[in-house]
Amino acid sequence: MTAATGWQAIRDAALARLRSGRWAPGTLIPTEAELAAEFGCARATVNRALRDLAAAGYLDRRRKSGTRVVPHPVRKATLTIPVIRKEVEGLGGTYAHVLISRATAVPPTAVRSALGLPADRPLLHLCTLHRADGAAYAHEDRWLNPEAVPGLDRLDLTVTSANEWLVGQVPYTDGRLSLSAAAASPEEARHLGCAPGAALFTVERITWLQRRPITWVRLSYAPGHRLTTDI
Amino acid sequence: MTAATGWQAIRDAALARLRSGRWAPGTLIPTEAELAAEFGCARATVNRALRDLAAAGYLDRRRKSGTRVVPHPVRKATLTIPVIRKEVEGLGGTYAHVLISRATAVPPTAVRSALGLPADRPLLHLCTLHRADGAAYAHEDRWLNPEAVPGLDRLDLTVTSANEWLVGQVPYTDGRLSLSAAAASPEEARHLGCAPGAALFTVERITWLQRRPITWVRLSYAPGHRLTTDI
DNA sequence: TAGTGGTCTAGACCACTAT
DNA sequence: TAGTGGTCTAGACCACTAA
């Protein structure tokens, strides 16, 4: 189970003590120097191990105070958000996408304010259907700021999806990801092949480059979709 | 924006080069030794900085090959999954919970197989409603393995929620988290005050201690709930 | 086989903070 | 002020892997 060496071995040993209750919730554990002596390694090695556990939410480390076992651990789940094509192919499926619509329009208020744009600024509106093995996989509703995305007009979006092109070509400095559930709109229902009002897992993402808004996108996954991670 | 020193300064400098395109997607960046010479620091410091960027999904590091800029970055979103009480209080709300039902029963097949338990094994079934400022916040449907949770029978679950007690008292070694959308069941709708079939954001979690199943739990949040994170 | 990242060490100094 | 974690250094050796 734990065949680690070096700092990972110390991390695992510490984790075992946490799980066994030998280091009880809320209490202080020995100092780095003490543990280094016990394990026969340098203090930096202990530091690396304990930093790892602190980052995972098990320990709370403070200068002078020492290292305390977090009483109510806040576990951190890490979700990887891949390009949809990779997501589908990673599941062994064959990926395809269809550009449903492409238009320039003024976005709804919710989108405009989320991006922090002035009113009446027209954006490029793209709707795309992503398929896995021929079946509908996800519906993408995207608003793009053409000023922030040079080269967009020369792109054939029927070949490369906006999703993938942006990820590969357009850097961003800040982003916000929001997960929620939403009832399928009539259009989503039609494309995803489900009943209107069906519960869809949706991922909304907004990205900025510096303070310049790039894109707002909502992915609505076909019913039954799950995002799973080990914790 | 970037007032860091030490290894964080080097990380930020590298990130700036990634974002500026000076280090283009798919290309190799200089070796640790070269960067250490350029920045006038020890190689270990560069290593720390680049490891951080690799962990964040920007770089792909391989021995012998070198460090390559990931062409299609897979950003990693970190979600913190706190105890519900803390979640509510963190939003400035007043938390309360109500134990709806408590019974010993054989779980549905989906729960049984997810936990890897033999058929006909009875578990403790708890339903709890979590409230924020008096309003329904989330419905909790939980199945507990009494054999794995000593002391459970001596606990007054109307005072401490199972959610919180488990987090504080019962360690686990493995867990799986699953996020999805589901239509509100009649019971959920009644407790959450929404229409049956409404789209609910649901979080399912399974935990094991060693290989012993501890609990299966599904939290169904009131409509409109979002899980947001910066990326 | 050689190049590159991964890690360890022993010591040092710094930064924060409880007292 | 003193204790504890945070980080840096210079060097060393190891582990992996492309050629």
Q: Which domains does chain A have, with CATH numbers?
A: 7-69 (1.10.10.10), 84-221 (3.40.1410.10)
Answer yes or no: do B78 and A78 touch at CB < 8 A: yes
pLDDT grade for A1, boundaries at 50, 70 and 90: very low
pTM for this prediction: 0.79
Instruction: Please report, rounded to whole angstroms, the spatial distance between the CA atom of protein residue B65 and the C1' atom of nucleotide C1.
Output: 15
Which pLDDT tens digit goes with each residue over B175-217? 888 999 999 999 999 999 999 999 999 999 998 876 789 899 9
Residue whose C-alpha is closest to residue B118's, from B126, B127, B107, B134: B107
Contacts of B55 in chain A (CB under 8 A): none
Q: Which candidate from A78, A173, A231 shows the least CB-CB separation from B19?
A: A173
Q: Which residue of B has its CA nearest to A26?
A: B168
Interface A:B, Cβ pairs < 8 A: 152
Task: Using a CB–CB cutoff of 8 Å, tell me whether A65 touches chain B.
Answer: no
pLDDT winner (highest mean) among B14-18, B105-109, B116-120: B105-109
Answer yes or no: do A231 and B175 touch at CB < 8 A: yes
- Least trusted range by pLDDT, from A116-120, A133-137, A221-225, B75-79: B75-79
B contact test, residue of A1, A8, A179, A216 with most B CBs within 10 A: A179
> Which nucleotide is nearest, taking the CA of residue B8 and each C1'?
D7
Residue whose C-alpha is closest to residue A132's, from A188, A87, A99, A88: A88
pLDDT grade for B5, boundaries at 50, 70 and 90: confident
Task: Using a CB–CB cutoff of 8 Å, tell me whether B45 touches chain A.
Answer: no
Task: Using a CB–CB cutoff of 8 Å, tell me whether A196 touches chain B.
Answer: no
Task: Using a CB–CB cutoff of 8 Å, tell me whether A197 touches chain B.
Answer: yes
Which pLDDT tens digit goes with each residue over A169-227? 676 667 888 999 999 999 999 999 999 999 999 999 998 876 789 899 999 999 999 98
Contacts of B225 in chain A (CB under 8 A): 180-181
Which pLDDT tens digit goes with each residue over A65-74? 899 888 666 6
Q: Output the pLDDT for position B148.
A: 81
Is B174 a residue whose pLDDT tops 90? no
Q: What percentage of residues in chain B have a pLDDT greater than 70?
A: 90
Answer yes or no: do B200 and A199 touch at CB < 8 A: yes
Summary mean pLDDT of chain A: 86
Q: Which candidate from B74, B80, B168 shows the least CB-CB separation from A76?
A: B80
Q: Output the pLDDT for position B156.
A: 75
Q: Which residue of A has its CA nearest to B175?
A: A231
Contact B173, B210 (CB under 8 A): yes
Contacts of B183 in chain A (CB under 8 A): 198-199
Instruction: Please report, rounded to whole angstroms, the spatial distance between the CA atom of protein residue A78 and the C1' atom of nucleotide D5.
Output: 26
Answer yes or no: do A72 and B167 touch at CB < 8 A: yes
pLDDT grade for A82, boundaries at 50, 70 and 90: low
Q: Output the pLDDT for position B1.
A: 47
Q: Output the pLDDT for position A173.
A: 66
Here the tokens at position A6 are: 């070096």
Is A49 a residue whose pLDDT tops 70? yes
- Quickly list DSSP for A83-132: -HHHHHHHTTPPEEEEEEEEEEEPPPHHHHHHHTPPTT--EEEEEEEEEE
Is B82 a residue whose pLDDT tops 70? no
Residue at minimum CA to C1' distance from nucleotide C4: B64
- Distance CA(B231)–CA(B228), nearest Å, equals 10
> Which nucleotide is nearest, taking the CA of residue A61 and each C1'?
D5
Q: Output the pLDDT for position B153.
A: 73
Here the tokens at position A9 are: 């071995």
Residue at minimum CA to C1' distance from nucleotide D5: A63
Is B151 a residue whose pLDDT tops 70? yes
Q: Which candidate from B18, B21, B71 shows the least CB-CB separation from A168?
A: B71
Answer yes or no: do A226 and B180 touch at CB < 8 A: yes
Q: Output the pLDDT for position B42.
A: 93
- CB closer than 7 A to strand C: which residues? A 5-8, 40-45, 48, 62-65; B 31-33, 43-44, 47, 50-51, 54, 61-67
Q: Which residue of A has its CA nearest to B71?
A: A168
Contacts of B70 in chain A (CB under 8 A): none
Average confidence (pLDDT) over A57-67 = 89
Q: How many CB atoms lie within 10 A of CB A77?
A: 22
Residue at minimum CA to C1' distance from nucleotide D10: B42
Distances (CA, A) of A92 to A32, A85, A86, A89, B39: 46, 11, 10, 5, 44
Per-position b or e across A158-192, b if 16+ CB within 10 A of its CB = eeebbbbbbbebbebeebbbebbbbbbbeebbebb
- Distance CA(B130)–CA(B41), nearest Å, equals 52
Instruction: Determine the distance in angstroms separating the CA of A117 from the nearest CA of chain B, rounded to an integer.
Output: 19
- Distance CA(B226)–CA(B197), nearest Å, equals 18
> Which nucleotide is nearest, taking the CA of residue B39 and each C1'?
D8
Is A3 a residue whose pLDDT tops 80? no
Average confidence (pLDDT) over A81-105 = 83
Average confidence (pLDDT) over A45-73 = 87
Residue whose C-alpha is closest to residue A84's, from A72, A96, A68, A73: A96
